[in-house]
Amino acid sequence: MALPSLRLFPVTVLTVLVALVSSSEEHEWHFNPAQCRYALGMEDGTIPDSDITASSAWSDSTEAKHGRLSTGEGDGAWCPAGAVFPSGSEYLQIDLRKLHFLALVGTQGRHADGHGQEFARSYRLRYSRDGVKWITWRDRWSQEVVSGNENTYDIVLKDLGPPIVARMVRFYPLADRVMSVCLRVELYGCVWDDGLKAYTAPVGHVMQLPGMSVYLNDSTYDGSTEQGMQFGGLGQLCDGVLGGDDFIQTKELRVWPGYDYLGWSREALGQGSVDIEFHFERPRVFHNMQVHSNNRHTQGVRVFSKVECLFKPGILQPWSSPALTLPVPLDDLKDPSSRPISLPLGGRPAQILRCKFYFADRWLLISEISFLSVMDEKPNKPEFCSPRFPLLITQSSPPLFSHIPPLSIPRPEFDAATPRAGLPVAKDDSSNTAILIGCLVGIILLLLAVIAVILWRQYWKKILGKVRVSHQHRRSLLPTPVHLCEIENPQDLPNLEFPFNVRKGRPLLVAVKILRPDASKNARNDFLKEVKILSRLKDPNIIRLLGVCVSSDPLCMVTEYMECGDLNQYLSHRVLLDKTGPSHNTPTISYPALISMASQIASGMKFLSSLNFVHRDLATRNCLRGGERHIKIADFGMSRNLYAGDYYRIQGRAVLPIRWMAWECILMGKFTTASDVWAFGVTLWEMLSVCQEQPYSNLTDEQVIDNAGEFFRDQGRQVYLSRPAVCPQGLYELMLSCWNRDCKLRPSFAYIHSFLTEDAMNMV
């Protein structure tokens, strides 16, 4: 049984016992946008500085090359030379050097360790496939202004609906008044292997049904329209979205009936066929064309009866003759379900294709057209032998939570020469030779990839071998082992709802929690509760759940892992900027940076409290750090619903972080959002003390418990954590309010977040 590509560090391979079976649906090779959401190289530097340009820059330290997401080079971002006007004429441009499918974008302001104060609240996007014609991106409702950032540090991700096929992209920051802005960006998507740069087709028609109009137009087409024809652009026929059986129902929300299809009426068109012309970036060899068509014949819609295709090897060359004719037997199409029709093209070379789709009824509706082709100059490397077409492996039983993605691995097993039932297949001996040669090339590339993986693993063994496990980690509340692993092909996860900064072929670090085999029934129930909680948490400052195994023992979950480790380790190796002494070579951190990170923790806890969830183990050891000091709260081993009062137990023994716990948690087992506020106060104390010591380090565990009793007796003998040297009195008073004996008088996380945000802004 094939298992997901998940590797355990440093030396062993993690065996995840997940019941996996092949998907029951036949795998098709049309473009799948869900697997096209990985970072294209702004943040990790894969896109070189020379491919990042701008209309202007305020100085050398804010020029275009500094506009990379989550990095802080120069003065921390790209900033145009002058103030931005509402018209938005300044831009940051990225040249990807080849066509890419762009699924979403990310933006960020200029943070600069808390000293930055510029960000763009909105922006426009323009893109080009050839560097000459520039197109303004608009959403499905024709709106071109994209909402941007609200502060200087948070990353804001925006799904592009519709997506973009482009080589060059420009960001135009906007402002409602004349003001200074700065910008950092990332693009997420994948290489547009199809090579299609434009298609020409008749404008879609409107179907009148009782009580409604069904609009079957190509609403996302980005070319020109004249005299009933659309040309020079791309649209819904190549966006990877397949329409359903009922063409009135749509997969997008708040769109009109018929949105998923482009459709034509035989009567309105005045001819017996729909002519579509496809223009490709370069000459290619075409093996198959797949057309996803509706067949709701009860409403006069039926799959086309035949296709005639002409091939043009080059722009200046004549059309091939005669046309390739491919009939579609209609006696097999009585089922009203929509379906893909696979049409063999016989390995014909072309840069332009012109295909006539003949009506079989009054209406013809198509949602997607894709091609199986290879570059003409490299016929010995067919595209269908590459990981471009993964075979999905899913859990044998329905997932516990629908939006948790099943793990997948690429398995290039599709053979374009295999006949499909009921469809004509043209034999082509030369194409079989090309397939064999291409697969041999694929095997060689696979061996090279294995060597690269081995070298990568050895590198991480050296890095991880230097990591010191802190005392706080040994005292962590995790109910299970946690293994640091990597997913070798994270872009193959089919249902990623947010992007990671990984490129195709690069692994993604993840944490895998496995419930101990001897865990009690209560521990198992708590583990399942934790999975349910994590599946609902979607916030920039909360670690995300990627997948689970709950169908068989051992139970396990896979969560996001921040590549820079935990906050405790990060701070404990630093000193404050204003601290002088013999350790002048020690890395430093500024007070504004500490407040910025604390504000992020408060923001994440505000989100948790809004859902009535209690963390129970908030501390710097359970806050992970990414690039540009981006903080995410982790370790939900003690997560509970607000009204659950029992302890998290392992074999009947409670494990509690008493130095971070409110007195009512220690003495009464009462965990609430207010007790999380107490723990936040201790966490803030840790941060301002740069994690140089444990809270109450002068007290033994027994004395800490006795101190909780003093809070209960309320005779004024309780001991508080002392004010750190760099902590202003106002901030220390906020800590003291977090440790108020009366939990009702402790501040809310919304107030704490507001206080810290205002404090950070006052320091700019």
Which CATH number goes with the domain that contains 74?
2.60.120.260
Looking at residue 371, its pLDDT comes to: 92
CATH number of residue 666's parent domain = 1.10.510.10
The answer as to whether 382 is a domain residue is no
| In a shared domain, residues 692 and 616 | yes
What pLDDT is stored for residue 247 in this prediction?
Answer: 93
Average of per-residue pLDDT across 576-589? 67
- Residue 573, pLDDT score: 87
Assign residue 496 the CATH number of its domain.
Answer: 3.30.200.20
The verdict on residue 573 lying in a domain is: yes
In this predicted structure, the answer to whether residue 359 has a pLDDT above a threshold of 80 is: yes
Q: Which of 561, 587, 605 is the C-terminal boundary of a domain?
A: 561
Closest CA to 631 of 659, 658, 595, 663: 595
CATH of the domain at 258: 2.60.120.1190
* Average pLDDT for 264-279: 95
Q: What is the pLDDT of residue 524?
A: 82
What total number of domains does the chain contain?
4
DSSP three-state, residue 93: strand
Tens of pLDDT, residue by residue over 646-667, are: 233 333 444 578 889 999 988 8
**pLDDT (mean) for 391-413:** 31
Mean pLDDT is highest, among 79-93, 436-450, 643-657, for 79-93
Residue 162 CA to residue 429 CA, distance in Å, equals: 40
Please check whether residues 37 and 150 belong to one and the same domain.
yes
Residue 447 falls within a domain, yes or no?
A: no
Q: What is the mean pLDDT of residues 456-476?
A: 39
**Quick one: pLDDT at residue 497?**
52
Which structure tokens are listed for 519? 């865990």
pLDDT, residue 460, reads 44
Considering the domain architecture, whether residues 573 and 636 belong to the same structural domain is answered as yes
Give the three-state DSSP class for 671: coil
Across 244-253, 386-395, 689-698, least confident range: 386-395
Judge whether 427 lies within some domain.
no
Domain boundary among 191, 217, 250: 191
pLDDT at 331: 66
Mean pLDDT in residue range 265-277: 95
pLDDT over 90, % of the chain:
43
Residues 607 and 750 reside in one and the same domain? yes
Arithmetic mean of pLDDT, 628-636: 79
Do 506 and 581 share a structural domain?
A: no
Please state which of the ranges 136-145, 187-196, 207-216, 248-257 shows the lowest mean pLDDT: 248-257
Domain limits for position 529: 482-561
CA atoms within 13 A on the CB side of 101: 23
Same-domain check for residues 538 and 646: no
Question: Peptide bond preceding 10: is omega within 30 degrees of 0, i.e. cis?
Answer: yes
pLDDT band, residue 177 (cuts 50/70/90): confident
Output 628 or 622, whichever has higher pLDDT. Answer: 622
| Average pLDDT value for residue range 125-130 | 95
User: Per the domain annotation, does 414 fall within a domain?
Assistant: no
Q: Is the domain of 636 the same as that of 756?
A: yes
Average pLDDT over residues 167-189: 92
237 shares a domain with 171: no
Higher pLDDT, residue 675 or 524:
675
Q: Which residue has the higher pLDDT, 428 or 448?
A: 448
The Cα-based distances of 163 to 198, 257, 382 in angstroms read 15, 20, 26
d(CA 594, CA 591): 5
CA distance 43 to 188: 11
**Taking 80 as the threshold, does the pLDDT of residue 169 lie above it?**
yes
What distance lies between CA 37 and its chain's CA centroid?
6
Average pLDDT over residues 421-447: 61
Mean pLDDT of 687-692: 92
- Single-letter residue type at 111: H
179 and 109 in a common domain: yes
Quick one: 203 and 108 in the same domain?
no
Instruction: Give the per-residue pLDDT at 456.
Output: 58
Within a domain: 71: yes
On the question of pLDDT at 16 being above 50, the answer is no
Determine which of 86-95, 122-131, 341-350, 512-521 has the lowest per-residue pLDDT on average: 512-521
Predicted confidence at residue 545, as pLDDT, reads: 84
Query: What's the whole-number mean pLDDT along residues 339-359?
Result: 94
DSSP3 helix / strand / coil % (the chain, rounded to 5): 25, 25, 50
What pLDDT band is residue 496 in, cutting at 50, 70 and 90? Answer: low
- Vertex 66, ends 64 and 70: CA angle to 5°? 135
Top-ranked range on mean pLDDT: pick from 49-58, 495-504, 652-661: 49-58
Give yes or no for residue 499 having a pLDDT over 80.
Answer: no
Tokens read off for 197: 């740069």
Which residues are known to be catalytic? Answer: 617
Name the residue with higher pLDDT: 501 or 663: 663
Residues 541 and 624 in one domain: no
Q: Examine residue 206 and state whether it is found in any structural domain, yes or no.
A: yes
pLDDT at 547: 84
Whether 405 is covered by a domain: the verdict is no
CB 92 within 8 A of CB 174: no
C-alpha 27/C-alpha 384 separation (Å) is: 13
Decide which of 154, 176, 191 is a domain's last residue.
191
Model confidence, pTM: 0.56
- Mean pLDDT value across residues 98-121: 90
Question: What is the C-alpha separation between 265 and 361, in angstroms, rounded?
Answer: 9
Higher local confidence (pLDDT), 391 or 100? 100
Closest CA to 482 of 560, 408, 369, 415: 560
**117 and 184 inside one domain:** yes
Confidence of residue 173 (pLDDT cuts 50, 70, 90): very high
For the chain, what is the mean pLDDT? Answer: 79
